[in-house]
Amino acid sequence: MTWAAGFVPATRLLGLLAATLLALLAVAIPAAAQDPASALDTGDTAWVLMASALVMLMTPGLALFYAGMVRAKNAVGTLMQCLAVMGLITLQWVVLGYTLAFGPDVGGLIGGLDFAFLRDVSAVEPNAAYAPTIPHQAFMIFQMMFAIIAPALILGAVAERVKFGAVVAFVLLWATFVYDPIAHWVWGVGGWLRALGGLDFAGGLVVHVSAGVAALACALYLGRRLGHGREEMGPHNLTLTVLGAGLLWFGWFGFNGGSAVASGSLATVAFVNTHIATAAAALAWTLIEWRRRGKPSALGAANGAVAGLVAITPACGFVTPLAAIAVGAGAGGLCYLAVRLKDRLGLDDALDAWGVHGVGGIWGAVATGLFASAAVNAVGTDGALLGNLRLLGVQLAGVLAVAVYTFAVTWALLWGIDRTIGLRVAPEHEEVGLDVTQHGETAYNFPLVAAVVAVPVAEAPEGSVTAQAVASHDGA
């Protein structure tokens, strides 16, 4: 099977979506002109738009973080997958995703189609149910950036072995059937988890538990990379990874602080807690690793920082700064142990998407149930450590519901894609690397790598310079 076998069905799918979009736009009735004289707050609007830009930056940051951790022959493929998610989910969110997540409630499970194609999503009037002081479009674009990064996180679990066409199909389907419904459950007015009293300030359940559990399902379904456990598969460029971690840390201030959808004290609380928890997690991971291995590593510190960012996300607007230290330190330790356990079990979660985002997200949701304080955020409630055991029970129920639903639907989507266009690249293409076989490019234009690109792998005669370059590139 050639690379085109996965590409052609993907392009047909995109073509069908584009044709459907044009047809629906032709009959859509434009929203009536709105009166610009409304109670919008320019400071809140400026902060949410800036936060949206910060969250957008997180996906390119994730691309660098992931690309540095793969082998050199798969760096471009990893970058390209994350960039593709940005384009795919942007259009999916405009057409259908936003209304499924935040449209008028249908049975507590999904949003209605009132906002499809952004109908009635005004730039001069708010959606009073969610953000009364900013334009509806500002709230929509902020939430879009969350929808973009969630499926990109999953790709870390299946790095170095998935067809690009399969990534396209999976991302679109997963966003529609997993992310959007869960976002409505947790954040949507009328969503059943929100009605139950579950707390998720900025996406611990919606983004990280869902993406982390989906990553686990993907790693189990696809199986291990060729040579896993026998060949060296460590990071090829830690500089990229540390740079990516820094961009994630920076962008996360918008991720969490922006979730206050206003520029006041609650945004300040979320911002401060985000930084404190991240620092605590990075230090906790580093100290544990230093003691166990004898040396602290840059990769460990970067992973620890991301674990802290993940864990504080659901709690950042509900806990005190001292509680944030506990949340972060717990994340550093638990996620370190999860990654070590994965290695011992032989699970090929290539870039620790499950170990960091899944375990970190679960801990963050549970920690919210433990440490939440109504004194910090009156919209929330006290947690178990302040006498309210019910909140802890609700948080655990939310984790279980999101995990079970995500795993089941993700597995079904993987099965369907595998039976149609196929998920995994051919073994010989996996050996050469995704950069050359999926994209015809290389991250580093060295002579031997250039030789691989110049001649298709199937046409390279045995013993030729290209074949030798392939063999050399395998060890990159």
Tell me the per-residue pLDDT of 99-108, one tens digit each, with 9 for 90 and over.
999 999 999 9
pLDDT tens-digit series, residues 55-94: 999 999 999 999 999 999 999 999 999 999 999 999 999 9
- Compute the distance between CA of residue 349 and CA of residue 365 in angstroms, rounded to an integer: 22
- Compute the distance between CA of residue 251 and CA of residue 63 in angstroms, rounded to an integer: 13
Closest-CA residue to 427 (of 387, 381, 474, 475): 474
Residue 225 has pLDDT above 70, yes or no: yes
Closest-CA residue to 72 (of 424, 442, 450): 442
Instruction: State the pLDDT at residue 447.
Output: 60
Q: Collect all residues with Cβ–Cβ distance below 8 Å to 53 and sequence separation of at least 6.
A: 254
Q: What percent of the chain has pLDDT over 70?
A: 86
Instruction: State the pLDDT at residue 475.
Output: 41
Residue 476 has pLDDT above 90, yes or no: no
Q: State how far Cα 21 lies from the chain centre.
A: 26
pTM exceeds 0.85: yes
- Compute the distance between CA of residue 345 and CA of residue 363 in angstroms, rounded to an integer: 21
Instruction: State the pLDDT at residue 15.
Output: 59
Instruction: State the pLDDT at residue 229.
Output: 87
**Phi, psi torsion values for 80, nearest 5 degrees:** -65, -40
Show me where the domains of the chain are located.
42-420, 445-476
What is the CATH code for 42-420?
1.10.3430.10
